[in-house]
Amino acid sequence: MNRRTLLKTALGGAAVLALPTFRAFAATAQPLTLASRTLDVNGRAATVYSLTGPDGKPGLSFDAGTDFDVALANTLGEDTIIHWHGLTPPWDQDGVPDAPMPLIKAGETRSFRFPVGSGGTHWMHAHTLQEQNLLAAPLIVRRAEEKSADEQEVVVLLHDFSFTPAAELLAKLKGPASGGHASMSGMNMSGMSGMGHDMAAMPGMQGMTGMDMGSMPGMSAMAMDLNDIEYDAYLANDRTLDDPEVVKVEKGGNVRLRIINGATATAFTIDLGALKGQVVAVDGQPIQPVEAQRFPMTMGQRLDIRLRVPAEGGAFPILALREGGSQRTGIVIGTAGSTVPKLSPVGEAAGPVLDIAYEVGLRAITPLADRPADVRYAVDLTGDMASYAWAMPGSEAIKVKKGQRVEIDMRNASMMAHPMHLHGHHFQVIGLDGGARFPGAVRDTVLVPPGRTVTIAIDAENPGRWAFHCHHLYHMAAGMMATFAYDGV
């Protein structure tokens, strides 16, 4: 599949708009370099991508309230483009092919400058199939109170990895006759009924029910599809669990985990094991702390988890459990002299299936203003594993004006969950399944499980024709991509 055309059709018309003038490089710009590298995965060499900052380490960091001032150099032998996931740049600097800027050519350096925003755990990634081959990195914007806090910061970027090229994975999913992929090598259609998740440990979650499969016509006898690709490895900071990164921490010290789910097609549950933690931010936006030992996160989401290392010290695995599968990855935090346990990348039980009951228990520290919607839309999420064609009926009508409060009901009529992401904005989760409204978390990516409806509210304050899509890379590439379009743009 041509990378330029992967998203161009879905964003209809964006490519024909007049392109803004490229910006001159500022002397203060931080260099960010796109390159390739060799990574050892399960004893086998893999050529993957890298995004390194001025210190030679993955990604970039900024102070809240400053400018995102970056010179992005593409040293690859191929064109690409990078999306600043979680930031709210002007539309012409968002990083989606031809929406409105073209791909960054091999050998080209392109400058970006815009306000970096109020802070948070974000990330950057290719908005092409190159994302599968680890073309992603952290993008951390630290608030003043985070910089002065007595806590150690640990950033964890999760990935799913395959030696099979992404274009080939997509071709196998689509199948030679649109439907044979379930029996193909490397593919797996996991059928699981119900929503067997473990959310009871989270305050306010008791009594919440999962999806009622019988509430949707034709679904009562069907099984939910979880994972459509069996990956060769699951990585945390580029390492598998049989050789994890070990981060030294102090006895009795405070730790802030910044966890990014950069996987293209895998949801995880973060398991703190013997520790308890408080999630204090989701998708970079502060929430009222919620204490637990397990925290769900779908593709594209981020979690900030605060925890305290026991005074007696020790080594503590922080695991990411693959949804519906026994595979896992993670890191270990340990105090000086502690013995790091031997860990297997395969656990004894399947990871929990993600649901959205926990959204009811999340409360934004800074919610959107309480005001009625100026305009409402309903968007269906449709498709199936057999044809591997995905769509968003209703999304073609999303037209907004600057200053409007917009509400969108996202209704999942398919048998796979969809992590839905809106570019250029933050939205607030305000309703589930048509029930009572609640002032939920402010996010940029939210999970919509099969048979469920999630309602979000957006303040339209950033004109453009913004990408609105499923963050499962292969669902997006196979049609689940639309626009959130302002009048006159």
pLDDT in tens, 278-337: 999 999 999 999 999 999 999 999 999 999 999 999 999 999 999 999 999 999 999 999
Contact 431, 455 (CB under 8 A): yes
Per-residue confidence band for 209, with pLDDT thresholds at 50, 70 and 90: very low
For the segment 265-284, the average pLDDT, to the nearest whole number, is: 97
For the segment 352-358, the average pLDDT, to the nearest whole number, is: 93
Taking the C-alpha atoms of residue 244 and residue 85, their distance in angstroms, rounded to an integer, is 26
Tokens describing residue 276: 């308890």
DSSP label at residue 104: B
User: Across the beta sheet with 30-41, what order do the strands follow?
Assistant: 44-52, 30-41, 67-74, 109-115
For the segment 174-178, the average pLDDT, to the nearest whole number, is: 66
- The beta strands (E) that lie in 53-164 are given as 60-63, 67-74, 82-85, 109-115, 120-126, 136-142, 152-161
pLDDT of residue 26: 52
Q: Quick check: helix, strand or coil at residue 57?
A: coil
What the chain holds in terms of domains, given with CATH numbers, is 5-144 (2.60.40.420), 233-354 (2.60.40.420), 363-486 (2.60.40.420)
Residue 100: asked if its preceding bond is cis (omega within 30°), the reply is yes
Q: Quick check: helix, strand or coil at residue 164?
A: coil
Strands 120-126, 109-115: pairing is unpaired
Residue 207 predicted with pLDDT over 90: no
Strands 152-161, 233-236: pairing is antiparallel
Taking the C-alpha atoms of residue 314 and residue 331, their distance in angstroms, rounded to an integer, is 14
pLDDT of residue 211: 37
Rg over CA atoms, the chain: 21
Phi, psi of 129, rounded to the nearest 5 degrees: -65, -15
Per-residue confidence band for 224, with pLDDT thresholds at 50, 70 and 90: low
Burial of 117 (0-12, 13-18, 19+ CB in 10 A): buried
CA distances from 272 to 254, 275, 277, 316, 363 (A): 14, 5, 7, 8, 22
In 329-444, where does DSSP find H-type helix?
none
How far does the chain reach from its first CA to its final CA, in angstroms? Answer: 28
